[in-house]
Structure 1
Amino acid sequence: MKIAHLILAHSQPAQLERLIDSLQHENAYFFIHIDRKVKSSHFSFLASRNRVFLISNRERVRWGAYSMVQATLNGFLAIAGSGIAIDVVNLLSGSDYPLKSAEEIHDFFAKNPDKNFMEYRFIPEEWKEAETRFTEYHLTNYHFRGKTMLQRWMNKFFPARKMPDLLVPVGKSQWLSITMEAVQFILNYLDEHPEVVRFFKLTWAPDEIIFQTILYNSTFRSKLINNNLRYIDWSAGNASPKTLDYEDVDKLLASRALFARKFDMARHPEIFDMLDKRIHSHS
């Protein structure tokens, strides 16, 4: 079972290296997308690591914009073109960390070879607040003077937008673990449906909707598991999840999730040692 960990990172090279170390396995490969807003030279030392690939086609990622989708697609393309017979693509951020040993993670996917793990809710029935993300026009992905005013006028005078290709919209968390077969389907679908790409470029936070929607509206629907295998604490109700610390260790280790987010080694370095000690003592 060969796993490609596709990691989207923009800071803290040492924390990224620790994440890679924690997932080391003879059948683990690492494809790293470094945000174009930061100097790639800070991360270049990782290129000498075994089975680590720095993605050359880098995006300048902005929150809520299609650039996040494009960064992920650049990773998918790099994996597809690597010549490695990858079975599973596991999308992570540089602030994630595993809750199980690498051996346990590989065993889990070996026992679930055809399943695609992603979180999705039906829009608007189960995720009402997300509906305006795609019914209204959003120019988040574009950068020009007067775009805020133009966006306001577009939404005032233009009709509500509708999903192209009769797609039923679903989505939630962008983080997922899917088969290489599903990744190739997504790449082929978007290549054959440029109108879907254009639509999502005008959508707010499309990274939380586009991949789930494409797979849900395909023959892959029967292979979707509505669980992204991540522990994420949204209990504070903020725009970003809680940064986990030592007080969360017991809850993290009691979780059946394979991964958790988010962590900050600069603020809470002790949690990494605590997790490693407990994980490897039980593996």
Structure 2
Amino acid sequence: MKIAHLILAHSQPDLLKRLVERLTHPDADIYIHLDAKTPLQPFEAIKKLSNVYFIDYRVKVYWGSFNIVQATINGFQQIIRSGRQYGYVNLLSGQDYPLKSATEIHQYLSDNPGKAFMNALVAETHWMEALPRVELYHFNNIRFPGRFVLQGLVNKLMPKRKLPDGLILVGRSQWFTVTGDHIRYITEYWEQHPALQRFVKMTWAPDEFIFQTILYNSKYKADMVDEDLRYIDWSAGGASPKTLTMEDAEKLISSGKFYARKFDQMKDNTVMDRLDKAQNSAPSGGEV
């Protein structure tokens, strides 16, 4: 079974190269969307690696903005256009790192076909803090001075917004592992529903809900597993997860997860050395 890894990256070419090398497998292709604000030149060495493809249509990515969705869609479209049949498509950031070997990852997914490993909390009952993301207008994807003042005025005057077509809002984490069939359905649904595209452009952090929402409201709902296979530490509070260091190494190794985020090679490089050592000495097998 072939896997396509789609990586959204914007910095740290050495860390990205290291991630790509750890994901390398005879049945793996790696697609990279590099933020259009980032020059390509420092990443040239990665482009020369086997089975690595850079996404042709790059967009400028801003935190919490619609363009993260667009970057992901661009990646899905290029994967589909490749004509290759992928059993799974795995979405990662350039600051992620595997906790298991490529062989273990492929074996686990081969043993668990047809699943959508993604967080899928229903907003109205289990993720209520997400409701304002869609009920209010958000202008964070529009780059002009005073946009947030205008945003506040609009939200005072306009009624609450609702997702088109009666879609039930679900989600939580941006990162997931789903099948090639799921990706094709998501992409086709997105392309065929321009009203949804217009709506999502004025939401906040839609990358954390739009893909789950499309699948949840489809025949593929039964495939969804509320498990994203990732170790992410939110204990520090705030809008971003903790940057993982050597002090987290043993928790990462014993977590049973397949990937972790986020890492910063400038802050701590030794933690990844420890993870590599653990992977090289671990028996085969996987868990979640």
TM-score (norm 1): 0.98
For structure 1, the 5+ residue unaligned runs are: none
Q: Provide the C-alpha distance between the structure 2 equivalents of 1:20 and 1:86, rounded to a whole number of angstroms.
A: 18
Q: Provide the C-alpha distance between the structure 2 equivalents of 1:252 and 1:45, rounded to a whole number of angstroms.
A: 29
Q: Provide the C-alpha distance between the structure 1 equivalents of 2:137 and 2:267, rounded to a whole number of angstroms.
A: 38
User: 1:153 Cα shift?
Assistant: 1.4
Q: Provide the C-alpha distance between the structure 2 equivalents of 1:130 and 1:112, rounded to a whole number of angstroms.
A: 30
1:242 correspondence with 2:232: no
User: 1:112 Cα shift?
Assistant: 1.0
User: 1:278 Cα shift?
Assistant: 0.9
1:282 correspondence with 2:271: no
Q: CA RMSD in A?
A: 0.9
Aligned length: 283
1:200 correspondence with 2:208: no
Secondary structure class of the residue paired with 2:77: helix
1:125 paired residue number? 125
Q: Provide the C-alpha distance between the structure 1 equivalents of 2:46 and 2:146, rounded to a whole number of angstroms.
A: 41
Q: How does 1:23-42 map to 2 (within 5 A)?
A: 23-42=23-42
Secondary structure class of the residue paired with 1:231: strand
What is the CA deviation profile of residues 233-263 of structure 1, one whole-angstrom value per residue up to 9, with x for unaligned ones? 0012221111111111111111111000011
Q: How does 1:131-142 map to 2 (within 5 A)?
A: 131-142=131-142
Q: Provide the C-alpha distance between the structure 2 equivalents of 1:46 and 1:249, rounded to a whole number of angstroms.
A: 27
User: 1:155 Cα shift?
Assistant: 0.4
Q: Provide the C-alpha distance between the structure 2 equivalents of 1:86 and 1:49, rounded to a whole number of angstroms.
A: 20
User: 1:44 Cα shift?
Assistant: 2.0
Q: Provide the C-alpha distance between the structure 2 equivalents of 1:241 and 1:144, rounded to a whole number of angstroms.
A: 28
1:152 correspondence with 2:114: no
User: 1:149 Cα shift?
Assistant: 2.2
2:2 paired residue number? 2
Amino acid paired to 1:129:
E
Identity of aligned residues (%): 49
User: 1:124 Cα shift?
Assistant: 2.5
User: 1:82 Cα shift?
Assistant: 1.1
Q: How does 1:1-283 map to 2 (within 5 A)?
A: 1-283=1-283
CA contact (8 A) 2:231 2:261 kept: yes
Structure 1 stretches of at least 4 aligned residues deviating more than 6 Å after TM superposition:
none
2:286 paired residue number? none
Q: Provide the C-alpha distance between the structure 2 equivalents of 1:147 and 1:233, rounded to a whole number of angstroms.
A: 32
What is the CA deviation profile of residues 57-104 of structure 1, one whole-angstrom value per residue up to 9, with x for unaligned ones? 101000010000000001001100112221111000010000001000
CA contact (8 A) 2:135 2:160 kept: yes
Q: Provide the C-alpha distance between the structure 2 equivalents of 1:230 and 1:241, rounded to a whole number of angstroms.
A: 12
Amino acid paired to 1:166:
G
Q: Provide the C-alpha distance between the structure 2 equivalents of 1:189 and 1:180, rounded to a whole number of angstroms.
A: 14
